[in-house]
Amino acid sequence: MVAAALVVAWSQQWALPVIVALSVGVSAYAAFQVPVWCGAVNRDGRIYCRNNAYGVLMGCSKRQHRWQKIKMIVVRSKVGNVSRSVFPTAKEKFNGALAVGGLLSAVAAVIVPVVTGG
């Protein structure tokens, strides 16, 4: 619903603080609260965890999986595995696109008025 409100806010040119708040809300929800699979690599190194997790960036209830997903984003040698572990299904890909879209919307909401002088 917040994502739909964000689209309406952009199309109707609502106030800048409202657009920024909606954008941050969409990104935070997709990154940290949306129900997804964990996707962390199991001990065998080939299979990804299918436990339930909350948020595209968070792992399941296993502490090591939470650290592993965060570490994969930061450590350069693991960047190739990020797409396979963070986005194993279409649902996670959609939620990831939603998170990135919300962040881009927040950045655009701040930059556009500066560039256009409004």
| Residues 6+ away with beta carbon under 8 Å from 38 | 48, 49, 50, 51, 52, 53, 59, 60, 62, 65, 69
Nearest-CA neighbor of 68 among 53, 55, 85? Answer: 85
The pLDDT value given to residue 44: 84
The pLDDT > 90 percentage for the chain reads 0
Reported as a single tens digit per residue, the pLDDT across 42-97 is: 888 778 888 888 877 777 888 888 788 777 666 655 555 666 656 667 777 777 77
For residue 26, the SS3 value is helix
